[in-house]
Structure 1
Amino acid sequence: MNSLVTYQVQDSLALIGLARPPVNALGQPLRAALLQACEQADADPSVRAIVIYGTNGLFCAGADITEFGSPASFAAPDLPGLLVRLTAIDKPLVAAIGKLALGGGLELALACGYRIGEPKTRVGLPEINLGLLPGAGGTQRLPRLVGVQAALEMMISGAPMAANRALELGILDRLADSAEQLLQSACGYAHELIANHAPARPSEPFADPAKGLPADFFERYCLEQEPRWKSRLAPRLVFSAVQAACLLPLQQGLERELALFKQAEASRQSEALRHVFFAEREAGKIPGIDPSTALRPIAKVAVIGAGTMGGGIAMNFANAGIPVVLLERQGDALDRGLAHIRKTYAISLKRGKLTEAQLEQRMSLLSGTLEYADLADADLVIEAVFEQLSIKQEVFRQLDSVCKPGAILATNTSSLDVDQIAAVTARPQDVIGLHFFSPANVMRLLEVVKARETSAQVLATTLKMGRTIGKIPVVSGVCFGFIGNRMLEPYAREAHRLVLEGATPAQVDGVLTGLDLNMGVFSMLDLAGIDVNFLVRDANRAAIAHDDSYCRLGDELYSLGRYGQKTARGFYQYEGRERHNDYEVVALSERLAGELHVSRRPIEDAEIHARCLFMLINEGIQLLDEGIALRAGDIDLVWINGYGFPAHLGGPMFYAQQYGLDKVLAGIQHYRDTLGEYGRMWFTPAPLLERLVAAGKTTIERL
């Protein structure tokens, strides 16, 4: 038998083991081997039932993603055809699902008549996360198994489902007592089926998926989901495929599903989401770090500052089962911080995302102190105090004096020079930047800032820890704002300047949210706090620009006490979370434009798009050229996970590639020529962008 599949006949059962580590991805070679094994079992009269399992304890995590978009994706035997063939075998097939059955792996299990899992089994159809839909029968077989509503929820969310819920829905027929007993239990189940003369495929609980659905079910579902779907293609294609399951016989439904899958696979959105998938895996590959790099143990963490950011950071570690001590200067501030953490957990409890026992367990891992001496046994200390260099340096002097040798000292600065912070210690090799994004207990991005003397061991340890607490860690070099906030500055600059020139905050934000960004510049600043933005900018004016007149609007709002949502007035007016345009801001913009001699005119949406996005892209390319970012994909991850850039556009760098690097360069040159002195000052193409276009390159890479 092929080395990708094991095959043995044992007591009238053919045991077929998937053996393509690490996750038994269903690429063409494994598909061919599986088909051969199943044909052999079908032809053997001594075989009365077939058990398919994973030889390493994991069933199958899905298709081979590297094949998507290439001829290999549908090379014979293609997965849809293979699974149709399996359903035609007139012997019971039992899928023994260890650990995972995701995507094509679950579709393989659905093609089997019977399924058994173990307590830690998880199943799911996450294709939507790659801009795809299940293309090997998932959209047709799952609604017939669990009903339309449950099937749609599972495919639209893309989230994996725990074993107990899968058993309750009927995706699993049984659960083995443990992972170790799964194969034995699957064989026992197969023998029961033989003894009971069970059919190769049992009758489907929802053979007519449309039966019992309200007449307006699909219309209502689509209307409810539209605000979430925005311009995303994949959810609509999933929806169409499930509709087909309700309207067409199975064979015609499978044909419709396949056509929709190929449409999704060929789309720009799926290409972008596959780029993001691989970018996440590439982000962990760092020069100077390999599997042999020693890691430091992190058994206890300390966080300096129990405010919103410090508390959120602490929660990440408590969630992962790691004890945390929070340090504050005043007892009342410490009490408020711990109370706020409990309140945040209580919200999760109320929403059913946490049990009372889990809440208390996590709170038990959190303690507070007013004394630096209590941090002496911490393995990792994260500073989260006010964004001012002198304050942070003083904290690090204290940490240097009390922390044990080998402790990692991290700063959560969003913009300051980590080298200058490290320089006040006698151990700069142990200092690193860990820039969490707010709210720190929710946002997935963690910018890991490698300072000049940060050791490979410290960098490797913090990257591993970032993944342990559920973050996507992306390495940045030291510069003002690192990757994310440095790119934010020219992006926000153009938004502010456009309002001075005649646009409104709502128009600028509307263009950006029209691209499916979660927020426009001005609503984002109102949420983060205009005061916070002002104080960061004020502390770094020399690093930001030689002419900061473009941000006068933000400065004026700060001086008026209009800090955004927290004061119900910022670039917009607020009633609760409801946002309204504020014509006082327009009047203020007109006044400032007059003082700064900025000519006002009607602004087209296309200009807003070009100026904001091209300047964002240009700065990212410059960061790559300087070596601050290691890869264009790293920049995309920062902006997707930290700033709400839509993943289905692939991030700003990938968006630029799809838009055309030559068009981006031409746009920058156009505004350099047409915006007068302002254009000449700010619209300078990154030299790397010019080199890429001159070389005829269509992808962003160092040259």
Structure 2
Amino acid sequence: MARPAPFALPPVPRPARGQEATTETLSMTDSASTGAAQTRRYEDILVVVIDHPPVNALSAAVRRDLSNAIAEAQTDTRVRAILLMGAGKNFIAGADIREFGKPPQQPLLPDLCNQIEASAKPVIAALHGAALGGGLEIAMAAHYRVALAGAKLGLPEVNLGLLPGAGGTQRAPRLMGAQAALDLMLTGKHLSADAALAAGLVDALASEEDPLDAGLAYTRQLLALNAGPRRTRDAADALSDRQAQLAAVDAAAERIATTARGLFSPARIVQAVRAAIEQPFDEGLRTERALFLQCLDSPQRAALVHAFFAERETAKIPELKEARARRLERVGIVGGGTMGAGIAVAVLDAGLPVVMVEQDDAALARGRARVEQVYDLLVKKGRISSDERAARLARFTGATNYDALGEADLIIEAVFEDMAVKQAVFAQLDRVAKPGAVLATNTSYLDVNQIAEATRGPADVLGLHFFSPANIMKLLEVVVGRHTAPDTVATGFELARRLRKTPVRAGVCDGFIGNRILAVHRQAADMMMEDGASPYDIDAAVRAFGYPMGPYQMADLAGGDIGWATRKRRAATRDPALRYVQIPDRLCERGWFGQKTGRGFYLYPDGARQGTPDPDVLAIIDDERRRAGVAPRPFTQDDILSRYLAAMVNEAANVLHQGIALRPSDIDVVFLSGYGFPRYRGGPMHYADSVDLPRILADIRGFAAEDPAFWKPSPLLVALAESGRSFGSLNAA
């Protein structure tokens, strides 16, 4: 039958208990109130409720109970239509990722979708909350779909190194056309209910707020029209212009060749959509399944799933077992520079009021201008409305006196990276902060314990290391000092939750987790540069590994003066046995700090964001090699990567061994979220496991022959490699 025109559905009152509704006890459950798919009949409509908290993931139990419910309905003469909906806040948020890698259990999701589509009675899906991944595949297998306001529809399997493997690559193009389906699958983004209606993914929008009311009303309307099953496999309109559809597939294939950056699954998604156009439906399903299994078996899938769970594990810290967060309703920020302004935007976006303190009116005006500039750009891009900009800025106030921070529940210091300056700030905060206020430093390297000594209450002090730009970057290192109280730590994690950031607990050392490890593998890069590899060769090798940019591009972006200041601060305590490469200092002495000065390791003419190699830098490197008595030698890409990654993994093992990080997966999250480590490799610790720890240890021992002071194997790496264990074995512990 023809697709019904969209319409607003009138509210339908729920039947009174004991009237229209009759509970059906199917063989899959003992009663309607138990099981992963519960059933209840409203006159001639069988309602099947997927109930698998917290997000109704498609576990084996859900699939089994749903399959049984569909089968029972086929022979129940009282049932004319089947309505699918989710309990709680979501329809179905996707597959149960915990089952990946385990022996498959029947029924498989593709078979369940085919069973739903083959139903002799119309199946209607009422979508609310998340209808994602396998959940949307279930909905597309249904014959009709009605969406509530606020529903989010998507096929984000690409984010886990997969493709929609239950008919999604075949049904989505038949509903939306190849272009829209590819956009949905290759980006992993969600569609709103309105956008899904416009795309043809759903048939109607509901005015009700309750999925049962919406689903019953829509189903009754369909029954009044004598609407029978309408199978998506038979939909032809969206693919009728075969030439245009194939052109969209070709364009997507060309696009991902340059943008997928080493990812495995995007090309398979394109192949599967091509099959939807070129092959009969059942053959297309077989093609999709073969491509899905290729993705499932790929190392990228394992790495991306590891990353998914690692991010959810970071909040499992000892302090949250014994303490709750303190009150968190007002936030103060000291410093209105780039970092302070970014933190202010992140806090304002979370709905919290902010008071910013600066040293004088001019500095405060600059800080406010930086905050306004962020919101002006968001308005210009259409991300927020002018009214929303005004509402957020209405929560922002400024002052030039520390007394204005007296009512703040949490105060974040974001001033210059200098111990004396920070201690002076914390002495002032100790004077004005109310009892119980949390005092946080945004230091990137400095000793949080030493900063806390400037106060009378070090239990209230912790580090909150934001990453720039603070309103965008998801990572937040929560640094726990020697005396930091558990409820102070809990408050830091609560702030991260409200700011929608990924918090990682870190202990105190120079650079904490990320910057400490970064300094070591950057030192390995500098040594290779002095030994014969150009900075451009090193950057190219690191990009080929999957990073968005190499270490010298990153240095130019961050500003060479930042690292220079750190090196000068560390000079007095530097181990004289360690080799010190002076090439970066020579550039900084000339004022070449990177993009902000127009040149660093690269040239940035006329404010360009993309640098070009600089012959003068290569000449300086040659001069430094001669000064250091180094005879340059060639480095292959593999040579570069083996040293760069071995240094990273070795120092990460030291960080873990010393208790600075709680578990290997936390280190992975730091590098995935804050340093551009390619997500499809899972993070440095997961990557090290994948290439074999004995091999990495052998590399380090080989490099030690030329520089034993730098290449000292971590005791933890040695212990794991020689006992046949992995970093992953420590995550559960």
- Give the TM bin, normalised by the shorter chain: over 0.9
Deviation at 1:544, TM superposition (A): 5.6
Q: Does structure 2 conserve the Cα–Cα contact (< 8 Å) formed by 1:210 and 1:247?
A: no
Structure-2 separation of matches of 1:478 and 1:153: 44
1:41 aligns with 2:73: yes
Structure-2 separation of matches of 1:288 and 1:524: 34
Q: Does structure 2 conserve the Cα–Cα contact (< 8 Å) formed by 1:621 and 1:700?
A: no
Counterpart pick for 1:282 among 299, 305, 313: 313
Deviation at 1:700, TM superposition (A): 4.5
Counterpart pick for 1:466 among 496, 500, 504: 496
Deviation at 1:211, TM superposition (A): 2.9
Q: Which position in structure 2 is the counterpart of 1:698? A: 726
Counterpart pick for 1:251 among 278, 282, 288: 282
3-state secondary structure, aligned to 1:213? helix
One-letter code aligned to 2:388: Q
Structure-2 separation of matches of 1:121 and 1:128: 20
1:514 aligns with 2:544: yes
Q: Which position in structure 2 is the counterpart of 1:331? A: 361
Structure-2 separation of matches of 1:172 and 1:551: 61
One-letter code aligned to 2:654: Q
Q: Which position in structure 2 is the counterpart of 1:185? A: 214
Q: Does structure 2 conserve the Cα–Cα contact (< 8 Å) formed by 1:553 and 1:589?
A: yes
Counterpart pick for 2:645 among 609, 613, 616: 613
Deviation at 1:125, TM superposition (A): 0.9
1:530 aligns with 2:575: no
One-letter code aligned to 2:490: A
Render the CA deviation track for 1:314-361: whole Å, top value 9, x for unaligned.
Answer: 000111111111111121121112112212222222222121111111
Q: Which position in structure 1 is the counterpart of 2:416? A: 386
Alpha carbons of structure 1 residues 207 and 559: separation in structure 2 relative to 1, 3 Å? closer
Structure-1 separation of matches of 2:300 and 2:174: 29
Deviation at 1:214, TM superposition (A): 6.5
Q: Which position in structure 2 is the counterpart of 1:134? A: 164
Structure-2 separation of matches of 1:429 and 1:247: 66
Q: Equivalent residues in 2 for 1:554-573 (5 A)?
A: 554-573=584-603
Structure 1 window deviating more from structure 2 (533-542 vs 397-406): it is 533-542
Q: Does structure 2 conserve the Cα–Cα contact (< 8 Å) formed by 1:388 and 1:539?
A: no
Structure-2 separation of matches of 1:245 and 1:274: 27
One-letter code aligned to 1:562: W
One-letter code aligned to 1:138: G
Structure-2 separation of matches of 1:248 and 1:357: 50
Deviation at 1:464, TM superposition (A): 1.9
1:199 aligns with 2:231: no
One-letter code aligned to 1:189: Y
Q: Equivalent residues in 2 for 1:186-585 (5 A)?
A: 186-201=215-230, 204=235, 206-208=237-239, 211=242, 213=244, 216-290=247-321, 293-542=323-572, 545-546=575-576, 549-575=579-605, 576-585=608-617
3-state secondary structure, aligned to 1:76? coil
Deviation at 1:405, TM superposition (A): 0.6
Deviation at 1:114, TM superposition (A): 1.1
Q: Which position in structure 1 is the counterpart of 2:85? A: 53
Structure 1 window deviating more from structure 2 (356-365 vs 42-51): it is 356-365
3-state secondary structure, aligned to 1:514? helix
Q: Does structure 2 conserve the Cα–Cα contact (< 8 Å) formed by 1:480 and 1:543?
A: no
Alpha carbons of structure 1 residues 571 and 163: separation in structure 2 relative to 1, 3 Å? same
3-state secondary structure, aligned to 1:295? coil
Q: Does structure 1 conserve the Cα–Cα contact (< 8 Å) formed by 2:556 and 2:594?
A: yes
One-letter code aligned to 2:466: F
3-state secondary structure, aligned to 1:117? strand
Deviation at 1:205, TM superposition (A): 6.1
3-state secondary structure, aligned to 2:83? strand
Structure-1 separation of matches of 2:347 and 2:374: 15
Q: Which position in structure 2 is the counterpart of 1:681? A: 709
Deviation at 1:206, TM superposition (A): 3.4
3-state secondary structure, aligned to 2:669? helix
Deviation at 1:436, TM superposition (A): 0.5
Q: Does structure 2 conserve the Cα–Cα contact (< 8 Å) formed by 1:381 and 1:407?
A: yes
3-state secondary structure, aligned to 2:95? coil
Q: Which position in structure 1 is the counterpart of 2:682? A: 650
3-state secondary structure, aligned to 2:244? coil
Deviation at 1:518, TM superposition (A): 1.3
Q: Which position in structure 2 is the counterpart of 1:596? A: 628
Structure-2 separation of matches of 1:345 and 1:554: 36
TM-score of the superposed pair, with normalisation by structure 2: 0.93
One-letter code aligned to 2:212: L
Q: Which position in structure 1 is the counterpart of 2:4? A: none
Q: Does structure 1 conserve the Cα–Cα contact (< 8 Å) formed by 2:176 and 2:238?
A: no
Structure-1 separation of matches of 2:444 and 2:253: 40
One-letter code aligned to 1:305: G
Counterpart pick for 1:66 among 78, 81, 98: 98
Q: Which position in structure 2 is the counterpart of 1:150? A: 180
Structure-2 separation of matches of 1:262 and 1:472: 31
Render the CA deviation track for 1:483-534: whole Å, top value 9, x for unaligned.
Answer: 0000001111011111111111100001100011111010000000001111
Structure-1 separation of matches of 2:55 and 2:694: 40
Alpha carbons of structure 1 residues 472 and 378: separation in structure 2 relative to 1, 3 Å? same
Render the CA deviation track for 1:533-552: whole Å, top value 9, x for unaligned.
Answer: 11122223355644565331
One-letter code aligned to 1:570: G
Q: Does structure 1 conserve the Cα–Cα contact (< 8 Å) formed by 2:117 and 2:141?
A: yes
Structure-1 separation of matches of 2:69 and 2:247: 45
Counterpart pick for 2:656 among 624, 631, 637: 624
Structure-2 separation of matches of 1:588 and 1:615: 25
3-state secondary structure, aligned to 2:604? strand
Structure-1 separation of matches of 2:379 and 2:268: 34
Q: Does structure 1 conserve the Cα–Cα contact (< 8 Å) formed by 2:245 and 2:277?
A: no
Structure-1 separation of matches of 2:47 and 2:246: 45
Render the CA deviation track for 1:625-679: whole Å, top value 9, x for unaligned.
Answer: 1110011110011001111000000011111111110110000001111x2xxx1
One-letter code aligned to 1:509: D
Deviation at 1:204, TM superposition (A): 2.9
Structure-1 separation of matches of 2:462 and 2:85: 45
1:18 aligns with 2:38: no
3-state secondary structure, aligned to 1:482? coil
Structure 1 window deviating more from structure 2 (643-652 vs 348-357): it is 348-357
Q: Which structure 2 segments of 5+ residues have no match?
A: 1-25, 30-34
Render the CA deviation track for 1:402-429: whole Å, top value 9, x for unaligned.
Answer: 0101111000000000010111111111
Deviation at 1:183, TM superposition (A): 0.6
Alpha carbons of structure 1 residues 613 and 57: separation in structure 2 relative to 1, 3 Å? closer
Structure 1 window deviating more from structure 2 (555-564 vs 202-211): it is 202-211
TM-score of the superposed pair, with normalisation by structure 1: 0.96
3-state secondary structure, aligned to 1:454? coil
Alpha carbons of structure 1 residues 170 and 555: separation in structure 2 relative to 1, 3 Å? same
Structure-1 separation of matches of 2:411 and 2:89: 38
Structure-2 separation of matches of 1:222 and 1:548: 49
Structure-2 separation of matches of 1:545 and 1:528: 26
Q: Does structure 2 conserve the Cα–Cα contact (< 8 Å) formed by 1:61 and 1:104?
A: yes
Structure-1 separation of matches of 2:85 and 2:145: 10
3-state secondary structure, aligned to 1:681? coil
In the TM superposition, structure 1's runs of 4+ consecutive aligned residues that sit over 6 Å from their partners are none
Q: Equivalent residues in 2 for 1:59-98 (5 A)?
A: 59-72=91-104, 75-98=105-128
Render the CA deviation track for 1:79-101: whole Å, top value 9, x for unaligned.
Answer: 00011011000211111112111
Q: Which structure 1 segments of 5+ residues have no match?
A: none
Deviation at 1:583, TM superposition (A): 1.7
Structure-2 separation of matches of 1:15 and 1:214: 37
Structure-1 separation of matches of 2:108 and 2:669: 32
Percent pairwise identity: 41
Alpha carbons of structure 1 residues 209 and 70: separation in structure 2 relative to 1, 3 Å? farther
Deviation at 1:228, TM superposition (A): 1.8
